[in-house]
Structure 1
Amino acid sequence: MTPGPGAQPKAGALPDPGGRPDPGALDAFRQEVRAWLGAALEGPFAAARGLGGPGREHEGHELRVAWERHLGAAGWTCLGWPKEHGGRDASLAEQVVFHEEYARAEAPARVGHIGEGLIGPTIIEHGTEEQKRRFLPPIRAGEELWCQGYSEPEAGSDLAGVRTRAVLDGGEWVITGQKVWTSLAHLAQWCFVLARTEPGSRRHHGLSYLLVPMDAPGVEVRPIVQLTGTSEFNEVFFDGVRTAAGNIVGRPGDGWRIAMATLGYERGASTLGQQIGFRRELAAVVATARRTGAAEDPVLRDRLIRAWLELEIMRQNALRTMTSLSAGEPGPEASIGKLYWSEWHRRLGELAQEVQGRAGLVADGPPYELNPLQRLFLFSRADTIYAGSSEIQRTIIAERALGLPRSPR
């Protein structure tokens, strides 16, 4: 039964006194989300269905920005944020429901996810009241987009090795350095930058967490052409770029702690929605295998079955991780999940190429038009690198979950 107009189940009403979600209220919330998305993805936004995503961030950007603002106006952004900051105080169970229904509706890939999921929660937890007033409302409304200034040419997975530096000059920080693999930097209005602010400091000491406008003089963005032919990653150069002294989150030299807090927000309820996308991709691979006859090969058939079984395991592990997060006990489960899904997705990309046969080696059209399975194969090569490489995830699991000795630094 779909709730009537204006019916909005309260997030706080969902869990019972024992902390378990009320299935009836959760189902009502699911119906509300499903009904709203079904109606919203008609008319001017019907063309937005399915647009965007990894390797396809160039698709319909202006339409997706308009969609982001439409979501914000209707109260469907920043669900987990506290109400005092424009959110809904949504429970983790509600957030999972929203992401699942969003994926099922084939709604367009979000353009504001870095602001909503990373810098927003960071500012809520660690920012000043002035920063909250300035930056949170435009994120919630979809009016300002953000990018992440962490990785550098010689400091990718080894984030503590950053060399970008910043010095305080009167009322401004002056930033000089280079960032790389900066997703959506060419579209963002703001960047949160990890920079070294204490001369002579080493590793995770002496770093600060700065908020930098991307239209400031001295910012140069150079797109990086990927295997897919698209350019959602970028190099960003800062040549004496200035940002206000107040645009620092936390204290000077406290950047490592703030940066780690940001990374802790990166893997949450949206992973369940991501898996619905994976399920759709797997279905396309299976359909292609049947069409080409590859499904008759017993080895390929076994790999297809194994991919399905592993996807089911992935979901159960993600639900277990959500339980830990809801208890406020984030641990190595997030690293286990990231390692698992990224390696699985890369293998699915390889399988996608194999079931196509020789046709998978030829672009669909000139000059370099790829079909979805070819794009899946090429872009999924990056899955085991971005958001924490597989090598780093294995180290975290070994040291924090298994208690093995720390690797030599």
Structure 2
Amino acid sequence: MADFGASDLDAFRTEVREWLAANYPPELRDGGAPTDPEAIWGGRRFEGSDDPQIVWMRRVAERGWTAPSWPKEYGGAGLSREQARIIEKELAAGGYRVPLASFGVWMLGPVLLEYASEEQKREHLPKIVRGEIRWCQGYSEPGAGSDLASLQTRCEDAGEHWKINGQKVWTSYADKADWCFCLVRTDTSKKHEGISFVLIDMSSPGVETRPIRLISGESPFCETFFNDVLVPKNNLVGRVNGGWDIAKRLLQYERQNISGGFGAGGGAGGVAGDLAQVAKDYVGTDEEGRLEDADLRARITRNKMDVHALQLTMARIAAEQKASNGPSAVTSIVKYAAASFAQERSELMVEAMGSQGLGWSGEGFSPDELRATRGWLRSKGNSIEGGTSEVNLNVIAKRVLGLPDPK
């Protein structure tokens, strides 16, 4: 990629700003037209749709800006990281909706670029960029959560196909996904070295999903069952029994994405809004305009300082990655910290609201108060998703600090 100077970047920023203003659907800006909340994820169900979010997604994808740093031959725009960052900043500054939310963009695409065959890249990456396929992740199993490498979903050679049998759990949006990137066992005699990485069409016979209802009242996760599911041989990414290296790489991208979402605003699974102002509104202020409860004031201040330090750390890591090949084990540090701070922030939000932060439904509670309660419950999953905090601490100990295994 070209090395753009400051003047070139300024010109590009102007180009982006003008294009966004000229191409953003007025229905989204005015909020007058209804839009399906699932449209931001794209997928087969929106083929031919005139939903304003889908129209916006298509326009941005035509320029390759849904994955701006991916090569042009795979649907991206072939831009530098600096240019991609400008697009991200201008979207936020202009109050534009994110054009596409996609596990394909955040997790699968980067590992396909690194590990997939040329045929697989040309088949799947352009569809990811255009939001034509919605992906889910088939990793965790009932008996393989923190110890993911103990997974037992079997993948057997069935001639022209692979035959898959087994169960996954906590599969995000599996009931809405078109395809699944999945870890399977192709060798039962080895643990880590017996795992392969396959791509599964969720419309295949034998695939079944069952949503799981969470304590927050939502059902974003599913149980996923594979019963004699036949998968074409060319849907295996990388080499047979070489899936563990791909799995680890993808988890680094997942942790980076989860942490990035926290750094951008309200926190993973939490509630957006200025915590200090919310506390002042509910608790009150002293004669100097400070939060009246000194202890709560100190804890909120500490959380805001921690969050700011995390955001600076994330910016530094992003700058360091420019000279490296993608994310590293350092993402485990960021993910661990982001989960801790997000949970603390949600707890402080509910505490500041007092009894108004304990509403579930009915009259007497504002929409923000009800969201705070559910956001607090949802934040309990921050230390589990993308690798538990305990697993991330182990990664930090081994791969960042270089500590020996316990005897």
Structure 1 and Structure 2 fold alike (TM over 0.5): yes
Give the secondary-structure state (helix, strand or coil) at the position aligned to 1:365.
coil
Structure 1 residues 27 and 269 mapped into 2: Cα distance closer, same or farther (>3 Å)?
farther
Alignment of 1:239-318 (within 5 A): 239-268=227-256, 274-278=262-266, 283-293=273-283, 295-318=291-314
Give TM-score, length-normalised by structure 1.
Answer: 0.84
2:329 corresponds to which residue?
332
1:126 corresponds to which residue?
115
Q: Look up the equivalent residue of 1:177 and give its one-letter code.
A: G
Give the secondary-structure state (helix, strand or coil) at the position aligned to 2:218.
coil
In the alignment, is the contact (CA less than 8 A) between 2:259 and 2:338 conserved in 1? no
Alignment of 1:129-144 (within 5 A): 129-144=118-133
Which deviates more, 32-41 or 118-127?
Answer: 32-41
| Counterpart selection for 1:225 from 177, 197, 213 | 213
1:7 corresponds to which residue?
none
Q: What is the distance in 2 between the residues matched to 1:303 and 1:34?
A: 39
1:157 pairs with 2:146:
yes
1:80 pairs with 2:63:
no
Give the secondary-structure state (helix, strand or coil) at the position aligned to 1:238.
strand
What whole-Å deviation, never above 9, does each CA across 1:361-389 have from its counterpart, x for those lacking one? 112438x9773322321211111110111
Count of paired positions: 385
Q: What is the distance in 1 between the residues matched to 2:244 and 2:350?
A: 41
Give TM-score, length-normalised by structure 2.
Answer: 0.85
Give the secondary-structure state (helix, strand or coil) at the position aligned to 1:181.
strand
Give the secondary-structure state (helix, strand or coil) at the position aligned to 2:346.
helix
Q: What is the distance in 2 between the residues matched to 1:132 and 1:320?
A: 30
Structure 1 residues 270 and 25 mapped into 2: Cα distance closer, same or farther (>3 Å)?
farther
1:6 corresponds to which residue?
none
Q: What is the distance in 1 between the residues matched to 2:308 and 2:241?
A: 43
1:371 corresponds to which residue?
370
The runs of 5 or more residues in structure 2 that have no matched partner are 285-290
Deviation at 1:111, TM superposition (A): 5.1
Q: What is the distance in 1 between the residues matched to 2:256 and 2:82?
A: 11
Structure 1 residues 58 and 128 mapped into 2: Cα distance closer, same or farther (>3 Å)?
closer
Deviation at 1:172, TM superposition (A): 0.7
Q: What is the distance in 1 between the residues matched to 2:374 and 2:95?
A: 18
1:172 pairs with 2:171:
no
1:320 pairs with 2:319:
no
Structure 1 residues 238 and 144 mapped into 2: Cα distance closer, same or farther (>3 Å)?
same
In the alignment, is the contact (CA less than 8 A) between 2:271 and 2:346 conserved in 1? no
Give the secondary-structure state (helix, strand or coil) at the position aligned to 2:229.
strand
1:356 corresponds to which residue?
353
In the alignment, is the contact (CA less than 8 A) between 1:92 and 1:326 conserved in 2? yes
| Counterpart selection for 1:204 from 179, 186, 192 | 192
Deviation at 1:128, TM superposition (A): 1.6
In the alignment, is the contact (CA less than 8 A) between 2:252 and 2:332 conserved in 1? no
Structure 1 residues 379 and 107 mapped into 2: Cα distance closer, same or farther (>3 Å)?
farther
In the alignment, is the contact (CA less than 8 A) between 1:314 and 1:341 conserved in 2? yes
Deviation at 1:234, TM superposition (A): 1.1
2:9 corresponds to which residue?
26
Give the secondary-structure state (helix, strand or coil) at the position aligned to 2:165.
strand
Give the secondary-structure state (helix, strand or coil) at the position aligned to 2:163.
strand
* Overall identity of the aligned pairs, in %: 37
Deviation at 1:189, TM superposition (A): 0.7
Give the secondary-structure state (helix, strand or coil) at the position aligned to 1:12.
coil
Q: Look up the equivalent residue of 1:172 and give its one-letter code.
A: H
Deviation at 1:240, TM superposition (A): 0.7
2:340 corresponds to which residue?
343
In the alignment, is the contact (CA less than 8 A) between 2:70 and 2:78 conserved in 1? yes
Q: What is the distance in 1 between the residues matched to 2:292 and 2:25?
A: 40
Structure 1 residues 386 and 290 mapped into 2: Cα distance closer, same or farther (>3 Å)?
same
Q: What is the distance in 1 between the residues matched to 2:392 and 2:252?
A: 13
Deviation at 1:34, TM superposition (A): 4.2
The runs of 5 or more residues in structure 1 that have no matched partner are 1-10, 15-21
Structure 1 residues 144 and 205 mapped into 2: Cα distance closer, same or farther (>3 Å)?
same
Give the secondary-structure state (helix, strand or coil) at the position aligned to 2:170.
coil
Q: What is the distance in 2 between the residues matched to 1:339 and 1:285?
A: 21
Give the secondary-structure state (helix, strand or coil) at the position aligned to 2:227.
strand
Q: What is the distance in 1 between the residues matched to 2:97 and 2:213?
A: 23
In the alignment, is the contact (CA less than 8 A) between 1:163 and 1:196 conserved in 2? yes
Q: Look up the equivalent residue of 2:274 and give its one-letter code.
A: A
Q: What is the distance in 2 between the residues matched to 1:39 and 1:385?
A: 42
2:135 corresponds to which residue?
146
2:202 corresponds to which residue?
214
